[in-house]
Chains A and B, each alone.
Chain A
Amino acid sequence: MIAALTTPYVAWWALVPLITFAVAGFLLLTVASLVRRLPAVLAPAWTAVAGLGVLLYLVPMWSRVGRDGADSFLAGTVGVDRSSIFVTGILAVAVIAAALISRDYLPREDLPGVELYVLLLMSAAGGVVMASANDLIVLFLGLEILSIAVYVLAALHLRRIESQEAALKYFLLGAFSSAFLLYGIALVYGATGSTNMVRISAFLAQNVLVDDAMLLAGLGLLLVGLGFKVAVVPFHAWTPDVYQGAPTPVVAWMAAGVKAAGFAALMRVFVLTLGTYVSDWRPAFQVIAAATVLAGAVVAVVQTDVKRMLAYSSIVHAGFILVGLQAATDRGNSSVLAYLAVYAFLTVGSFAVVTVVSGTGDASHGLDAYRGMGRRHPALAGVFTVLLLGQAGIPFTGGFVVKLGVLAAAVDGGAYWLAGVAMLAAAVAAFVYLRLLVAMYLEEVPSGTETSGAVPLGALVVAVASAVIVLVVGLVPGPLLDLARDAVPVLVAG
C-alpha cells in the first residue's frame, strides 16, 4: 500500500496575479509561434490587458486580506499580505506602461514584435514571486525569473551594439550578484537552520547566537546581492551603461518594475526576517544610503547624456528609498512603498518622453535633442517638466510627498545626519533636472535638428497619465499614503 501524497495547501486566489502574468506570457508565445503575421497591436494590447486585469483583481484581493488577514501557503514558502499586493500593483502599472511605450517603439526601430512582451510578462511574474516570497529560496527563484528575462530584454535592440554591450554587462554582473545572494542564503541557513523567513525570524527571536559571525557574513552577502539589483552605491556601476544601452521601454521597466521588486525583497529579508539584527545591519544601510544619494547626485550633475542622467537620478532615488528602509519601522515601510509607487510613475513617464525624443535608432539622448523642446513640442515638454519637477521633489508634486515621507521616517528613528545628507543630495540633484528644463525652454534649437513629427500615442498616454498622477498625488496625497500605511508587510507561518 502506497501512502498517498498530501499536497500542501494552496491559496489559489492569492496566486492569480502570478498565474495571470505567466499564462498571459505563455499564451502570447504560443499564438505568436502559430500565427506567422500577428496584427502589430495584438501583443501590446494583450500585455496591457493582462496588467490591467491583475490591477483590477488586486482590489478584491486587498479587501480580502484586510478582512481575513495575511496568509501563507505552499508549505509556508509563499505569503500574501498587503505589501505584496501593493508591490504587485506597482509591477502591473509598470508592465502596462512599458507595453504602451513599446507599441510604437518596436515598429519604429523595426524590431521583431512579440518577444519583448513575452519577456516583460515573465519578468513581471518573477517580480510577483519576489514580492510575496516567504522563503529565501523562493525569493531567489523569483529574482532569477525576473532577471533572466531582463538580461534578454536589454539585448533586444538587435542592431545597436550598445544594447548588446548593456545586456552582457548586466548579465555578467547580475550572475555575479546572484552568486553573492545564494552564498548569503547558504550562510543564513547555516546559522539559523532554515531558509524559511518565518522560521528564521522566530529562531532569531528565541535564540541568542553565541557566535554570530556566520549570520553576519550571510547578512552582508544578502545585502550585496540585493543591493546590486536595486543599484545602490557601491553596487551601482552597471546602471548608467545598461540604462544607456538598453532599449528605452525596457529601461522604463527596469527602473520601475525591477527596482520595486528588489526593494520589496530587501524589505522582506532585512526588516521582516532579520529584524532582530537591525542594530547590526542598520549602520551598513545608513552608510550605503548616504553614499548612494551623494554619489548619485554628484555624478548625475556632470552627465551630458540624458539617459545616463536619469540612470544616476534613479540611483539617487534608490538611496532615498534606502533612507526610509533603514528605519525598519512600520512608518519607514509605508514610506518606502509610497516612494516606490510614485517613483514608478515618475520613471515610466520620463522614459516615455525619452523614448519619443530619442528618434529612430534610439540614439539621440544628448542634451541637444532636448534643446528648444518647449517650442517644438509644447505638450510633451510640459509633461516632462512636471515629471522632472516630481523627480526633483518640488512641493505640490508626488515626489515631494514621498521624499518627505522617507525623511520623516529617518528622523523618527533618530537618523538626523542621514536625513540631512539626503536633503543636501536632493538639492544637488535638483540641479540636474533644472538643467534639462533650461535646455528645453531657454536654449535655442540647434540648427540642423529636424522638427520631429507627431508624438506616438502609447508613449503620450503613459507620459500624460504619469504626470497627472504625480500632480494629483502631490495635491491630494491622502489616498496613496493611506494605501501605503495599510500595506503593512507581515510574515505569517504556513
Chain B
Amino acid sequence: MSDYLRNWLTLVVFGGVAVLLVGAFLGLGSLVRPSRQTSQKAVVYESGVDPQGDMWSQSNIRYYVFALMFVLFDVEAVFIFPWATRLEVYDVFGLVEMAIFIFILALGLFYAWRKGLLRWI
C-alpha cells in the first residue's frame, strides 16, 4: 500500500471510530433511560414557543432579490476585511484595486436599483 493510500486509511479508521463512539453512547443511553412518550414531547421544537401553522410554508419569491444582494455584499466583506487589516502594506496599489472592486460591485447594486428591483411591489 502506498503512503498516499495509508494516509487515507488513517482517515477511514478515524471516521469509523467516530461513528462507533457516537453510536455506542446513543445506544447505551437509549438502553438505560426510561421511555415515557407523551404527545407534548412529539411536538416540533421551536425554542420553547408553541409551534403555529404548517411546517411546510412558502416564502415570498420577492425575497430572492434581497438574498442575492446579501450574497453580493457578503462576498464583498470577505475580501474587504483581509485588505483592511493590511491596509498599509498594500498602499496606493491596494487602494486602487479595492476601489475598482467596490465600484464593480456597487455598479451591480446601482443597476438593480435603477431597474426597480429594490422596490417592494
Across the interface, which residues of A come within 8 angstroms of B35, CB to CB? none
Inter-chain contacts of B50 with A (CB < 8 A): none
Q: In the assembled complex, how far is the CB of residue B16 from the closest CB belonging to chain A, in whole angstroms? A: 24
Stretch at the interface among B26-34, B74-82, B106-114: B106-114
| B120 within 8 A of partner (CB) | no
A7 to B92, CA, bound (A): 11
A-contacting residues, B92-112, CB 8 Å: 93-94, 104, 107, 110-111
Measured in the bound complex, the distance between the Cα atoms of B6 and A211 in whole Å is 14
Within 8 A of B (CB), among A14-55: 26, 29-30, 32-34
Q: Are B107 and A29 touching (Cβ within 8 A)? A: yes
The bracket for how many chain A residues form the interface is 10 to 19
Indicate if the CB atoms of A7 and B107 lie closer than 8 Å.
Answer: no
Nearest CB on A from B54, distance (A):
28
In the complex, A204 has a CB within 8 A of chain B = no
CB of A302 closer than 8 Å to a CB of B: no
Docked pose: A32 CA to B107 CA in angstroms:
11
- If A33-B110, A211-B2 touch, whether A26 touches B91 (CB-CB below 8 Å) is no
Task: Please tell me if the beta carbons of A5 and B89 are within 8 angstroms of each other in the complex.
Answer: yes
- In the bound complex, residues from chain A placing their C-beta under 8 Å from that of B115 are 33
Residues of B in contact, count (CB < 8 Å): 15
Task: Select which of A5, A30, A34 is within 8 A of B94 by beta carbon.
Answer: A5
A-B Cβ contacts below 8 A, count: 28
Check B89 against A26 for contact (C-beta < 8 Å).
Answer: no
List the A side residues contacting B113 at CB < 8 Å: 33
| 10 new A-B contacts at CB < 8 Å, known A2-B88, A33-B110, A33-B113 | A3-B89, A4-B89, A4-B91, A5-B89, A5-B91, A32-B111, A33-B111, A34-B114, A211-B2, A211-B4
A214 to B5, CA, bound (A): 11
Do A214 and B4 touch (CB < 8 A)?
yes
Q: Taking CB as reference atom, which chain A residue is nearest B103?
A: A26
**Minimum C-beta distance from A409 to chain B (A):** 38
Identity of the chain B residue whose Cβ is nearest the Cβ of A214 in the assembled complex: B4
The distance in angstroms between the C-alpha atoms of A34 and B111, with both chains bound, is 9
Complex Cα spacing A4 to B88, Å? 8
Q: Does B90 interact with chain A (Cβ within 8 Å)?
A: yes
Q: Can you list 23 A-B pairs, Cβ within 8 angstroms, ordered by A?
A: A2-B89, A3-B89, A4-B89, A4-B91, A5-B89, A5-B90, A5-B91, A5-B94, A7-B93, A26-B104, A29-B107, A29-B111, A30-B107, A30-B110, A32-B111, A33-B107, A33-B110, A33-B111, A33-B113, A33-B114, A211-B2, A211-B4, A214-B4
With beta carbons under 8 angstroms apart, the residue of B4, B93, B107, B111 that contacts A5 is B93
Taking the nearest CB of chain A, how far is it from the CB of B56, in angstroms?
Answer: 24
Chain A residues closer than 8 Å to B91, beta-carbon distance: 4-5
Q: Which residues of A contact B111 (CB under 8 A)?
A: 29, 32-33
Interface of B is mostly: helix
* Chain A residues at the B interface, C-beta cutoff of 8 Å: 2-5, 7, 26, 29-30, 32-34, 211, 214
Q: How far is the CA of A32 from the CA of B104 in the complex (A)?
A: 15
Note all chain B residues with C-beta closer than 8 A to A4: 89, 91
Which of A4, A30, A33 has its CB near the most chain B CB atoms (within 10 A)?
A33
Complex: A33 Cα to B104 Cα, angstroms: 13
Nearest-neighbour CB distance to chain B for A27, whole angstroms, equals: 10
Closest B-chain residue to A114, C-beta based?
Answer: B111
Expressed in whole angstroms, the Cα–Cα distance for A398 and B90 within the complex equals 52
A10–B70 Cα gap in the complex (Å)?
33
Residues in B whose Cβ lies below 8 Å from that of A214 = 4
Report how far A214 CA is from B7 CA in the complex, Å.
14
User: In the docked arrangement, what's the CA distance between A214 and B113, Å?
Assistant: 48
Please measure, in the bound complex, the distance between the C-alpha atom of A2 and the C-alpha atom of B90, giving whole angstroms. 10
CA distance A3 to B114 in the complex (A): 44
In the complex, A30→B88 CA distance in Å? 31
Q: For the complex, what is the distance from the CA of A218 to the CA of B15, rounded to whole Å? A: 25
Which of A2, A3, A26, A211 is B107 in contact with, Cβ under 8 Å?
Answer: A26
The 3 closest A-B pairs by CB, nearest first: A33-B114, A33-B111, A5-B89
A29–B91 CA distance with the chains assembled, in angstroms: 30
Q: Which of B1-34 contact A (CB under 8 A)?
A: 2, 4
